[in-house]
Amino acid sequence: MKLHRNLVDAVTDGFLQITNDGLYADKVIERLLKRNKRWGSKDRAFIAETLYELVRYKRLYMEIAQVSAPLTVVSFRRVFAVWAVLRGIPLPDWYFEETPERRIKGRFAELSQVRKYRESVPDWLDALGVSELGEAVWTRELHALNQVAPVALRVNTLKVSREALQEALTGEGYPCSVVEGSPDALVLASRANVFLSEAYKQGWFEVQDVSSQQVAPMVEARAGMKVADCCAGAGGKTLHLAMQMQNKGKIVAMDIYPQKLQELSRRAKRNGVFNIETREIDTKYLKRQAGTFDRVLIDAPCSGLGVLRRNPDAKWKLTEAFLDEVRTTQQAILRQYSSLTKAGGKLVYATCSILPSENQRQVQAFLESEAGKGFQLVKEQTLWASEGYDGFYMAQMNKK
């Protein structure tokens, strides 16, 4: 591989923004890729993939390079040199006069024996993972969460069958395969910008991880029901629910962020979905609608530890204080929104975390609370990143 100065400069600029300024990696990369319209697909892939890799293993590379934040252009060049040496990529003359390759490889071999360096996580997070999951499970999951995530699609069966979508995408140059045990899922053979496909423009699919696609089926929503999606966001699971309900009945999609609900409305239009009502969170509405919903989904805010493969910078933004705060929020949301469930209805709690303190323990605390005494746990499931897709948790409860 030959390194080009303008691409390395873009990676340098991006990493400094992410590390020094605390900006989100996906947003930084999005802006970088708009910088030069002459960059081809390989150039763009190099920038995005290299930046994600550097962020994913930031602690390891910085430790080997013997630099610390805040970084300068010069100190980042040492980090980039580590990345290049470990991948056998020769550094050009314009980059460094000399690179200590033997020292880099030796230090890598040494640090790779220590999990917090090898998998590149903060000390406190490594300790937390061990305390909640145990050494073996945490080691396994942390390694899996550092792998590049596959691109999974969810077919919109309101418009097309999975087989027809697979054929159409393959014909457009996006070969993909079905996922056994997940009837609406396809996985791309290689990473590609499927948003440019005609099939996407026609609303035939959404990009959604296979694990995320398991949440809507847990709700068991049926045509004609009244369903609440209480933390809907931009609506990936909301649209899946609408598809399962065959566009019949009513879904009330709620969130505290109006811009996310606006995005959901745009996506619903492209998907041909018209049984969704979007609504900003309103306590008066919650009181009026208490006990009137057949199904209630709480896709709760969480640490996001189960989706680190997609958001590797999240592990550097997480703090113990934030985790304490989010656990408090989860319990409050469970107790507040559970009131929407009618007698005989179902309540589903889900997170994209793998920590029991955000999952099983939250459900147990809710069931033991005053608000949860009318509910009974029916089933729960943890989806592990080591199984190939994102880490998720979901629990279904019946209201007696």
Question: What mean pLDDT is predicted for residues 181-204?
Answer: 95
pLDDT given for residue 1 in this prediction:
80
pLDDT given for residue 245 in this prediction:
97
pLDDT given for residue 96 in this prediction:
66
Question: What mean pLDDT is predicted for residues 50-66?
Answer: 97
pLDDT, one tens digit per residue, over 366-392 is 999 999 999 999 999 999 999 999 999
- Of the candidates 199, 148, 143, 195, the residue with the CA atom closest to the CA atom of residue 171: 199
In order, the DSSP letters of 59-76 are: HHHHHHHT--SSP-HHHH
Share of the chain above pLDDT 70, in %: 100
* Cα 227 → chain centroid: 24
Instruction: Indicate the DSSP class of residue 150.
Output: P
| 230 catalytically annotated | no
Whether the Cβ atoms of residue 79 and residue 65 lie closer than 8 Å to each other? yes
Burial string for 198-222 (b: 16+ CB within 10 Å, else e) reads: ebbebbbbbebbbbbbbbbbbbebe
- Note the pTM of the prediction, 2 decimals: 0.94
Q: Give me the CATH code for the 152-207 domain, please.
A: 3.30.70.1170
Catalytic residue among 176, 231, 302, 352, which? 352
Residue 259 contacts by C-beta under 8 Å, 6 or more apart in sequence? none
Q: Over 80: is that where the pLDDT of 95 sits?
A: no
pLDDT given for residue 97 in this prediction:
66
In whole angstroms, what is the distance from residue 103 CA to residue 88 CA?
A: 14
pLDDT, one tens digit per residue, over 248-276 is 999 999 999 999 999 999 999 999 999 99
pLDDT given for residue 22 in this prediction:
93
Per-domain boundaries in the chain: 5-120, 152-207, 212-399
Q: Over 70: is that where the pLDDT of 64 sits?
A: yes
Question: What class is the 212-399 domain?
Answer: alpha beta
Local confidence band at 103 (pLDDT 50, 70, 90 cut-offs): very high
